Amino acid sequence: MVCLCPCHCTCLRHTLYKIEEPDHVCWDETHFGKMGSYYINRTFFFDVHPPLGKMLIGLSGLLTGYNGSFEFENPGVKYGDINYVGMRTFCAILGSLIVPLSYLTVFEFYNSVTAAFLTSLLIIFDTGFLTLSQYILLDPILIFFITIATYCLAKFDKIQDKPFTKWWWFWLTMTGVFLACAFSVKWVGLFVILLVGLKTVFDLWQLLGDLSLSKTILLHHFLARALCLIMTPALIYMGFFAVHFKVLAFSGSGDGFFSSAFQSTLIGNSLYKASMPQDLVYGSIITLKNQRPAGGLLHSHWHLYPEGSGAMQQQITAYTHKDENNKWIIKRFDRDPEKGDMQKPVEYVKNGDFIRLEHLVTRRNLHSHREPAPLTPRHQQVTGYGEDGIGDVNDIWKIEIIDGPDNVYIKTVRTTVRLIHYVTGCALHSHSKTLPKWGWEQLEVTCNPHIRDKKNLWNVEDHINERLPNSSFEVFAPSFLESFLESHAVMAQSNSGLKPKEGEVTSRPWQWPVNYKGQRFSGVNETDYRVYLLGNPIIWWSNLAAIGVFCTLAFVFAVMAQRGIEGTGKYEELKKKFLYSCTWFLIGWALHYFPFYLMGRVLYFHHYFPAMVYSNMLTGVLLDYALSGLHSYKLPYCNINMYMAGNAVIVAVIIQSFALFYPLSYGMHGELAENVNSTMSGLKWMESWEI
């Protein structure tokens, strides 16, 4: 194992080379760099991923002198004097650590330095891993935790014959710790949890067949695994969210995705330690919050629906950010509130009342009619209609408290209501569908004929009326558990609703193993500094072939075993190690790959890289087994020199393939690959590569 340190040092130098280039925001750095800034500034935001990776990016920036002032507005924006290299370096270091961890994992499973060394080379000289590790992204952090969790599992597997010893407990616990870390970076970490879960079930099944173990010992084995692999990761995962909520204490861009009660905990939010009228009265200025996870505020603006999207009246949307255009005046259905007479008693809004809602800025009423909604034709269109608050009968809505008695007052924040259209009987509705650019990519609002849909539920969030006494709303602040559960509901809702933006390059899972199409990180034109996320094709296609070869060999060996055909003692032992290790690597690859076929959300090429770690491990073991197997059979033409020569050829091919394609990672200049004078000329092996 003496080659471990040189491998890691080579990989670290390899990854940190030109780490400062390009000196502008690249691809998803615009998201994760910005989120690191939010942690430094303690400003609340929303993201579809759990918090650990972004907290670590923020911490690395803080420790290396970045002050959180850069906006990471768009890809291509120059960093200038901002210290961004520290965050890139942190991600690069974790990315480089994947190499020694993969080396050690293969060694623990297969006990071969050569197989471990070949695996490490397959990762070091893959242009895809190199590119992914050089930028401010979650992927190197995620893959690091997935790999170290797998390594801890391998170490635990190695000492299972020494149960309940100090090191047995240590490696079992560390497996659980890093499972929690992987899941806390992205929910893709669930796949390594499934891998460990399957391995645990397999181990317990083996123990169950050991008749020398008492029922008490079997119970202890089960409880130990439940403690270290279920309870400990769950507590750690919740702990990261506790830190997340504590650090992001100030109101920010993510407030609107969460409930009114949650927003009341954020310093600077209009609901934080808010004092506002408790009971709703006619003439009040209010905002209405949709109660689905990640629901928006009822919103309008001067823009009209375009031709072909229903009546060309004023747009009504749901918006997840605080805005003046979220404010509405609540009025009786048959008259406006009387102005100027402050002595007259106020009139409270009660369950079952018929009302109109007038948009404060544009003076148009909330309106619906029998026209199909633009994105959901089974629902009715909702518009802003009228002039100076004067419209027609289609502006009338009935306000209903869910399961509440008649004549009960509507209360700010606390009361959940439905708005039923007076003429057509449908309910005001909002969901996760986003309007096209003509609707500013805000959420569609419709009138839903299915009135019991949970997405028809709203509450009053802000309430302004000078004639009413204010009450404190601090008592509505949720507990940690309530905030934790709400954040997961919002994350799940938003994750499933992720769709590609206009012009965005996406991909499908079948394209990933064949390296069909990469992802632009920087630059498009000949004058640009171009970086393109694409795997080393020699390595990727070899990995795909290795999976096929292993499956074929496993089938052949199964047939041989069924027929009672066995090899010699030494070769049989080698075969068992080969089948055992490669089977688990294949399961790891499959668990991190095939679930993407079931996902409805938008997918990108980089989603394949966790699976790629396991296919590299499988390939390294398969290559070593093929050469070792020939040598073990003592074929006259395959002595130790041939074994060494075979490994030398493999190493040379890996390094030479990297020498051809390294500009993909370190930057391409000048003409594109289809031009003869390009430095990448002749290397566009697939038409789908955008190099």
Write down the pLDDT at residue 1. 42
CA distance 370 to 353: 23
**What is the per-residue pLDDT for 2?**
43
Q: Are 512 and 608 in contact (CB under 8 A)?
A: yes
Q: Measure the CA–CA gap between 28 and 33, rounded to whole angstroms.
A: 8
**CB of 353 closer than 8 Å to CB of 362:** no
CA–CA dist 113, 1 (Å, integer): 6
pLDDT along the chain (691 residues), means of 10: 55 80 90 95 94 96 93 89 93 95 96 94 94 94 97 95 95 97 96 97 94 94 96 97 96 87 88 86 94 90 93 94 93 76 79 95 96 95 93 94 85 91 96 91 95 93 89 79 92 76 76 92 74 94 96 92 77 88 97 92 91 97 86 56 86 93 85 78 85 79
- The whole-number pLDDT of residue 577 equals 92
* HEC readout, 326-373: HCEEEEECCCCCCCCCCCCCCCECECCCEEEEEECCCCCEEEEEEEEC
Half-sphere exposure of 356 (CA within 13 A, CB side): 26
Tokens describing residue 350: 């009660």
Please list, residue by residue across 604-639, b when 16 or more beta carbons sit within 10 angstroms of its beta carbon and e when fewer do: bbbbbbbbbbbbbbbbbbbbbbbbbbbbbeeeeebe
pLDDT value of residue 342 = 57
Looking at the whole model, is its pTM more than 0.85?
yes
What pLDDT is attached to residue 502? 59
Question: Phi/psi of residue 329, each to 5°?
Answer: -100, 130
Q: How far apart are CA 139 and CA 132, in angstroms?
A: 7
Query: What does the chain come to in residues?
Result: 691
Residues 6+ apart with CB under 8 A from 563: none
Tokens representing 124?
Answer: 């070091």
User: What mean pLDDT is reported for the chain?
Assistant: 90
Report how far apart, in Å, the C-alpha atoms of 521 and of each of 21, 76, 92, 612 are. 12, 10, 16, 19
State the DSSP code for 437. Answer: G
Nearest to 442 by CA among 324, 325, 317, 321: 317
Pair 333, 355: CB distance under 8 Å? yes
pLDDT at 270: 80
- Cis peptide, bond prior to residue 277, ω within 30 of zero: no
The three-state secondary structure class of 531 is strand
Strands (E), 149-268: none
